[in-house]
Amino acid sequence: MSDLICRSVVLCDEVRQEKSEKYLLVGVYPGGVHFGKLPGQVNLSLFLSLFLPSTGEHELEIHVEAGPNIHKLTMGLVINDASECVGIPTPPFPIAVAEPTELIVKLKLDQSEPLEVARYPIKENPNAWTLFPTEPPPPSEQSESDVQG
């Protein structure tokens, strides 16, 4: 077993890197992937924040499973300071599902056993993107003095 520490796994549509080397996460899925109707298909990306156990060269495998979809990405990493958190974006990968399932993310560092680091539900939810109530909220009861300050 490795001493890999996974600080976070963010599921999103796309990860971009700015000239300042900061990352921009586009279309974040906070609690899973909700399709209006299944079957459905979407391209997803991951952004991982990791602490690796030691300096030097490492091989990281990222396994993503979602129903019949299995994606494996292998990358080499050179760690100069093991006390620093490493941000790792993945390129988009296609997910096509016919029925509710889970998206499972596992990491394998060097020769260690894969470590499950995230599990997201994938389901049908026709109301998945309703952010506001269907009826507008009642008008506030502010007096003119409240508005003028």
Give, in words, the CATH class of 5-127: mainly beta
| pLDDT tens readout for residues 56-105 | 999 999 999 998 889 999 999 999 998 999 999 999 999 999 999 999 99
Query: Using the 8-state DSSP alphabet, how is residue 37 labeled?
Result: S
Q: Phi/psi at 145 (nearest 5 deg)?
A: -70, -35
| pLDDT tens readout for residues 45-63 | 999 999 998 999 999 999 9
| pLDDT value of residue 125 | 84
Return the H-helix or E-strand segment holding 148: helix 144-148
The encoded tokens of residue 115 equal 């470590």
Query: For all residues of the chain together, what is the average pLDDT?
Result: 86
Q: How confident is the model at residue 141 (pLDDT cuts 50, 70, 90)?
A: low
| pLDDT value of residue 130 | 47
This prediction's pTM: 0.79
Query: pLDDT at residue 143 above 90?
Result: no
| pLDDT value of residue 1 | 44
DSSP string, 52-115: -SSSEEEEEEEEEEETTEEEEEEEEEEES-TTS-EEEE---EEEEESS-EEEEEEEEETTSPPE
Work out the widest C-alpha separation in the chain, in whole angstroms: 69
| pLDDT tens readout for residues 107-137 | 999 999 999 999 999 998 877 654 455 565 5
Query: pLDDT at residue 139 above 60?
Result: yes
| pLDDT value of residue 2 | 63
Query: pLDDT at residue 23 above 90?
Result: yes
| pLDDT value of residue 6 | 94
In the chain, domain spans = 5-127
